Amino acid sequence: MVSLPDNSAAPAIEVRDLVKSYGGVTAVSRVSFAVARGEIVGFLGPNGAGKSTTMRILTGCMPATSGYAAVCGLSVAARADEVKRLLGYMPENNPLPEDMRVSEYLHYRGRLKEISRKKLGPRLDEVLELCDLKRVRHRIIGTLSKGFRQRVGIAECVLAEPPVIIMDEPTIGLDPHQILIVRDLIASLRGRMAMIISSHILPEIEMTCDRVIIINQGRLVAQGTPAQLRREVLGEARYELELAGPDTGLAALLAGVEPTLKIAAVAAPDADGFRRLTLTTANAAELGEPLLRVLASGSRRVRALTRLRPALEEVFLAATRQGWEAANAVPGNARPRPGNEPV
């Protein structure tokens, strides 16, 4: 286990006003965020948003133009060597040497990460077991399938048991079964290590991560738990109702439950006379029970009532579409304006 520096109260990752520009193009612009110890954070953004650049700055692979980045309280710029000892990093596309065996590669990386020879053997067995690589440990990496290669990359990341792990798109190009395995693997590390994971597969992020950071055009546009983001970015709650019966007095009935509750859309009735209604409200509280009670009390019949939970995709699209304008207003730690329309 890597020994932590004295200031162990410091967050696992701290980034303040980070800027990176190359050749007149600003890839990262005044980004600030923090990741607590043991927290798993999803890093979202469209291609070219600055995710990989931010991650590479955090690993010391690339210097920042300005701003402050620290890992476990140690400045990445000033104490790069010590920071590297606290990090496990899997770059984009997970580059691996093609003509080495899995166990040889992990052994070599373990030695570079300063694990003593005595500890390395048992630790290798442990990591191979954790990543389900035991049966391919003597295979040449170049002949492995993509799923196994990703797991070799993850095994390399966790080998030295660093307190912080940074993975750039660990599930890219994997089939659903392999994604599930990688997700379980990441979940098994929960609480032991802080992680930043970038991905395009949003349900993955939602299932794996405690918190999400959305970045677009180099700016941070939203951060929080998926539920918080839904509320902040999309604003209102939506319900879907399947109802049969007269329309008259329905709006007043709904206003009685919650003044902001409105009918947003009504579909044509089906063969049984049920229509599908979409209701919107600014109140985030759960309105299902009072709604059912009021609607069932008259001559109307209710077949279904669902609260619509927008996928993270909708949040992501709304945040990246509109959010950077808000980021302009409060640089660095901006929140998008509430009440954006759902996509």
DSSP-based three-state secondary structure for 260: coil
Taking CB under 8 A as the rule, does residue 320 contact another protein?
Answer: no
Handedness of CA 207, 212, 216, 218 (dihedral sign): negative
Instruction: In whole angstroms, give the CA distance from residue 331 to residue 32.
Output: 9
Cα torsion for 30, 36, 39, 45, to the nearest 10°?
A: 0
Cα(319)–Cα(223) distance, rounded to whole angstroms?
Answer: 10
**Tokens coding 265:** 């859309």
Phi-psi region of 106 (alpha: psi -120 to 50; beta: other; left: phi over 0): alpha
Least gap, CB of 100 to another protein (angstroms)? 8
Out of 30, 84, 149, 151, name the contact with another protein by CB under 8 A: 84
In the complex with another protein, which residue's Cβ is closer, 108 or 328?
108
Asked if residue 138 binds another protein (CB under 8 A), the reply is no
Among 18, 39, 136, 156, binds another protein (CB under 8 A): 156
* Least Cβ distance, residue 115 to another protein (angstroms): 11
- Candidate list 8, 66, 95, 143; residue touching another protein; CB under 8 A: 95
Of 88, 66, 63, 89, residue with least CA distance to 77: 63
Q: Binding of another protein at residue 283 (CB under 8 A)?
A: no
- Taking CB under 8 A as the criterion, the residue among 7, 48, 97, 270 binding another protein is 97
One of 4, 19, 34, 96 touching another protein (CB under 8 A): 96
User: Are 186 and 173 contacting, i.e. CB atoms less than 8 angstroms apart?
Assistant: no
| 3-class secondary structure, 53 | helix
Binding range to another protein, per CB under 8 A, among 84-92, 257-265, 303-311, 323-331 = 84-92
Smallest gap from Cβ 231 to another protein, in A, equals: 37
Whether 214 contacts 45, CB under 8 Å: yes
Q: Is 3 in the site for another protein (CB under 8 A)?
A: no
Nearer to another protein by Cβ, of 131 and 334: the residue is: 131
Which residues contribute to the site for another protein (CB under 8 A)?
Answer: 22, 56, 59-63, 81-82, 84-85, 87, 89, 91, 93, 95-100, 104, 108-109, 111-114, 156
